[in-house]
Amino acid sequence: MLTKPKGLVVSKPGDLPKYVNFGLGGRAGVGKTHLLGTAGKKAKVLILDTEGGNVTYSSKSFKADPAASEIDVITFDETDLTKFIHSIESVFDHLIRTKNSEGYTLVALDSLTEFQERFLSMHVAGDKRQSYGALRDTVYGIVRKATQTPVHTVFTGRLKAAHDDVLNREVVRFEVSPGVWAVISGLFDSLGYMSVERVGIGKNAQTSRILDFTHNVRTEGKDRYGLGRIENPTFEQIISTLGGN
């Protein structure tokens, strides 16, 4: 073992976090919001809804889902930027302070893309770069707080294709500014991308939702927990897998 330099603490690697902070990307309409509510019949899910997608939980298809959970929703109607940010941050502050006394299984902000749009529409600055800098710092603070809450957390985002100058190829990432992505992508414990695919051949082919945590040349997945590529996923299934990690 390294001889300890004066003033430094040398230790062994820590355990994987008990509560996972997920990034969940996908095109609009692919089923991200539905998936957030599928933590199981005995679970409670809290949705921080910035884009009005919570009507999904009143649909017949969601109510018929065997993994559908009890859903609580917080919407944000503030037109003042400071109040808008504080409203979201206060949810995570409460969960940390009370140690999740309400017993939520999953808390999700749906979505970061819409949060960005609303933030930029309310932020007043003479230089647009100031707005993007403030956005980066704000989103980093929120996601960082989520990593400290005693509950599984999820941040969703729509996707966009962009040219990566470092890799010199097209990549698919969350539809947020490059500055935001640079500071938050490393905070996710698991990062997955959701798509709809035709699985099978000919008349036997079926449409399936695919959630892919693996890293490839187009999507920057993160699979620290070995979740892999899941067909027709539910968060009940994912959390169960995490429990037996």
Provide the domain count of the chain: 1
CA distance 198 to 221: 21
Which CATH number fits the domain that encloses residue 73? Answer: 3.40.50
Residue 5 lies in a domain: no
Q: Is residue 13 in a domain?
A: no
- Please report, rounded to a whole number, the percentage of residues in the chain having pLDDT higher than 90: 72
Identify the burial level of 161 via C-beta atoms within 10 angstroms of its C-beta, where 0-12 means exposed, 13-18 middle and 19 or more buried: exposed
Omega within 30 of 0 (cis) for the link into 111 = yes
Alpha carbons 89 and 78: distance in angstroms, whole number: 14
The answer to the question of residue 3 being in a domain is no
Cα–Cα distance for residue pair 111/155, rounded to 1 Å? 6
Q: Is residue 47 part of a domain?
A: yes
pLDDT above 60: residue 245: no
Query: What is the domain range of residue 84?
Result: 21-243
165-213 confidence digits (pLDDT tens): 766 777 888 999 999 999 999 999 999 999 988 777 777 778 889 999 9
Residue 45 belongs to some domain of the structure: yes
CA quadruple 116, 37, 186, 173: dihedral positive or negative? negative
Torsion angle of C-alpha atoms 157, 151, 147, 68, degrees rounded to 10: -10
At 26-52, the pLDDT tens digits run: 998 899 999 999 999 999 999 999 998
Identify whether 2 is part of a domain.
no
105 lies in a domain? yes
Q: Is residue 16 part of a domain?
A: no
Q: Which residues contact 128 (CB under 8 A, 6 or more apart)?
A: none
